[in-house]
DNA sequence: ACTTGCATTATGTCTAGACATATTAGCCAA
DNA sequence: TTGGCTAATATGTCTAGACATAATGCAAGT
């Protein structure tokens, strides 16, 4: 290995070996460039990568110091459900259970940052893997920010239409565990109260809040991430 | 805005506006550099950032193309539990419930990639937020890869000692929902069968597998991520 | 003692040019 | 037709030098 990756590796080694302790200031880019016999830009590339990884913290004028508690970051690749199912080697299908305009309940409107009493598009989709319930998706869509003619959601899943036709800018996702409600139990064919992994997602586009989704996963479902 | 961030923004805008459709080849760095009136290195910086974000895919000789299904990535910052609790404005404490050597059960050994019948360090810690159970941590540690004298885990939490004293290289984390076992119910003061959010984490260091942790969170706990 | 302003300095970014490397298309030979 | 070589090409990286920007700490003035 050579080049900026070599610099990154060596700096990382010294931090792990505690040559440079947590919280300590490390030599400046210029000094490291001289020591390693490379240009400053190369050192900069290496340190920028380490800073993105959370290993060091950099501030102009103040210099670079080793992070006190190295924050570990894991990346979640949010899959399109269809591909998630196919990736497990199972045939995919879905059923549209509800598709109507409805007034948003207060907590929904609040989460989307919309005024109360606004009519939203409500969709309920049951995703199937190998014919068995996989995920129950309940979704509120803000029609105001969508391209005018919504397609037939019985033909293409909402999710896939959204990611390819709407500019999604930012959002957040939360995982929690909840007992299956009566409706969930019925639709998914499990006992009421069964522990379900639930993902709640809000998504914002350039024109405002787009959608609030709740995904209730079948028992035993695992969401995996690596770091 | 100007510089490489301006280039990134403009390229992103064109992709979102479908000037450049998913799967399509976009102009080369040289061409973009001329168009934007910047050096090729600046375009490279912008495109590298977009590639890291998953918006485009780059290959030498083959060029740069817009990702087919824009994979949405969310980042999870795995907190040290103490800081997580303090960040919620609650006092933190923990109790060490178990600290012994024990033979690893087969599934544990398998997940760590170790031979069966190996003695591992078993630790059980109850993390408290404001005096109430927050997380029950059950952990298997591989003593073979640790710095020789392990500290007194009743004084410093295992997690914090690990992140500051062991080179953690890679790992994975899975979230799932499970009903509380009898022991979990007793220790955490909830009814057996309550839906709990469980995180299972394996971590590997340079010298091999380090640890397997199971974190059972108190009811209502949410793991939040943004993208 | 307190505030304001300025010089200092480390990181952040840019440029122009160069070489490295991976990958592909096309060609040629078996 | 198939397999392997080759040349072309787009991205990847490096260099040396320059200017930009943000913090910091000191100095000066109130």
Task: State the CB neighbour count (10 A cutoff) for residue A117.
Answer: 9
Task: Give me the residue label for tokens 């992709």.
Answer: B15
Q: What is the pLDDT of residues B152-185, one digit of tens each?
A: 888 888 888 887 777 677 789 999 999 999 999 9
Min CA distance, A64 vs chain B (Å)?
A: 18
pLDDT, position B69: 74
Say if residue A117's pLDDT is above 90.
no
Does any strand C atom come closer than 7 Å to the Cβ of A130? Answer: no
Query: Quick one: which of A63, A71, A68 has its CA closest to A26?
Result: A63
Q: Do A197 and B197 touch (CB under 8 A)?
A: yes
Note whether A173 and B74 are within 8 A (CB).
yes
3-class secondary structure, B180: coil
Say if residue B1's pLDDT is above 70.
no
- Mean local confidence (pLDDT), A40-64: 91
Q: What percent of chain A has pLDDT over 90?
A: 63
Q: Do B171 and A227 touch (CB under 8 A)?
A: yes
CATH number corresponding to B81-217: 3.40.1410.10
Q: B149: which residues sit within 8 A by CB, 6+ positions away?
A: none
pLDDT, position A122: 95
User: In degrees, to the nearest 5, what angle opens at C-alpha A118 toward C-alphas A112 and A123?
Assistant: 70
Q: Buried b vs exposed e over B45-64: b needs ≥16 C-beta within 10 Å?
A: bbbebbeebebbeeeeeeeb
pLDDT class of B18 with cuts at 50, 70, 90: confident
Nearest nucleotide (C1') to alpha carbon of B27: D10
Could you tell me how many residues make up chain B? 227
Query: Quick one: which of B218, B214, B220, B216 has its CA closest to B189?
Result: B218
Per CB-CB distance under 8 Å, the chain B contacts of A16 are 167
- Mean local confidence (pLDDT), A197-220: 92
Query: Quick one: which of A114, A164, A178 has its CA closest to A141?
Result: A114
* Sheet bearing A63-66, strands edge to edge: A25-26, A63-66, A56-59
Closest alpha carbon within chain A to B169: A227
> Which residue among A75, A193, A217 places its CB closest to the CB of B75?
A75
Mark which residues 47-66 of B lie under 8 Å from A by CB.
54
Mark which residues 83-122 of A lie under 8 Å from B by CB.
83
Q: Which segments of B53-200 does DSSP mark as H helices, in order?
A: 81-87, 106-112, 158-165, 182-188
Task: State the CB neighbour count (10 A cutoff) for residue A69.
Answer: 15
Dig out the tokens for A52 from the structure.
């993105």
A179 touches chain B (CB under 8 A): yes
3-class secondary structure, B136: strand
Rounded mean pLDDT of chain A? Answer: 90
Say if residue A168's pLDDT is above 90.
no
User: In degrees, to the nearest 5, what angle opens at C-alpha B116 toward C-alphas B114 and B118?
Assistant: 80
Q: Do B73 and A75 touch (CB under 8 A)?
A: yes
Across the A:B interface, residue pairs with CB atoms under 8 Å apart total 143
Mark which residues 135-164 of B lie under 8 Å from A by CB.
160, 163-164
Does any strand D atom come closer than 7 Å to the Cβ of B57? Answer: no
Q: Which segments of A28-170 does DSSP mark as H helices, in order?
A: 29-36, 40-52, 81-87, 106-112, 158-165
Does any strand C atom come closer than 7 Å to the Cβ of B34? Answer: no
Say if residue A164's pLDDT is above 80.
no
- Terminal alpha carbon distance of chain A: 22
Cα distances from A56 to residues A21, A67, A155, B84, B163, in angstroms, run: 11, 5, 49, 20, 14
Rounded mean pLDDT of chain B? Answer: 90
Per CB-CB distance under 8 Å, the chain B contacts of A72 are 77-78, 163, 168, 171
A59 CA to C17 C1', in Å? 30
A222 touches chain B (CB under 8 A): yes
Query: Quick one: which of A205, A200, A178, A181 has its CA closest to A111?
Result: A200
Per CB-CB distance under 8 Å, the chain B contacts of A224 are 172-174
- Mean local confidence (pLDDT), A182-197: 96
Per CB-CB distance under 8 Å, the chain A contacts of B80 are 69
CATH number corresponding to A4-66: 1.10.10.10
CATH 3.40.1410.10 domain extents, chain A: 81-217
> How many Å is the Cα radius of gyration of chain A?
24
Could you tell me how many residues make up chain A? 227
pLDDT, position A48: 92
pLDDT, position B186: 96
* pLDDT, greater one: A169 or B27: B27
- Mean local confidence (pLDDT), A182-209: 93
pLDDT, position A153: 87
Q: A217: which residues sit within 8 A by CB, 6+ positions away?
A: A134, A135, A196, A197, A198, A199, A223, B177
A33 CA to C6 C1', in Å? 30
Q: Rounded to an integer, what distance in angstroms lies between the CA atom of residue A132 and that of residue A127? A: 8
pLDDT class of B17 with cuts at 50, 70, 90: confident
Dig out the tokens for A9 from the structure.
């590796």
CATH 1.10.10.10 domain extents, chain B: 4-66
pLDDT, position B226: 84
Output A177-184 pairs: Cβ under 8 A, ≥24 positions apart. Answer: A177/B177, A177/B178, A177/B195, A177/B196, A177/B197, A177/B198, A177/B217, A177/B219, A177/B221, A178/A216, A178/B177, A178/B195, A179/B194, A179/B195, A180/A216, A184/A136, A184/A216
Query: Quick one: which of A71, A72, A73, A91 has its CA closest to A82?
Result: A91
Min CA distance, A222 vs chain B (Å)?
A: 5
pLDDT, position A1: 63
């Amino acid at each position: 290995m050579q080049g900026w990756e070599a610099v990154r590796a060596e700096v990382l080694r010294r931090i792990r070996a505690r040559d440079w302790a947590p919280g300590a200031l490390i030599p400046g880019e210029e000094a490291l460039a001289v020591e390693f016999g490379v240009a400053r830009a190369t050192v900069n590339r290496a340190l920028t990568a380490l800073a993105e990884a959370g290993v060091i913290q950099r501030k102009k004028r103040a210099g670079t110091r080793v992070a006190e508690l190295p924050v570990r970051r894991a990346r979640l690749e949010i899959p399109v459900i269809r591909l998630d199912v196919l990736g497990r080697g199972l045939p995919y299908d879905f059923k549209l259970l509800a598709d109507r305009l409805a007034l948003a309940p207060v907590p929904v409107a609040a989460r989307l940052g919309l005024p109360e009493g606004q009519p939203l598009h409500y969709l309920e989709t049951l995703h199937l893997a190998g014919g068995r319930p996989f995920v129950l998706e309940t979704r509120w869509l803000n029609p105001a920010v969508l391209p005018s003619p919504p397609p037939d959601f019985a033909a293409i899943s909402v999710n896939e239409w959204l990611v390819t036709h709407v500019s999604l800018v930012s959002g957040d996702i939360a995982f929690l565990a909840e007992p299956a409600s009566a409706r969930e139990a019925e639709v998914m064919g499990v006992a009421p109260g069964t522990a379900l992994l639930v993902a709640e997602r809000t998504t914002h586009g350039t024109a405002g809040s787009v959608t609030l989704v709740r995904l209730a996963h079948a028992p035993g479902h695992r969401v995996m991430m690596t770091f």
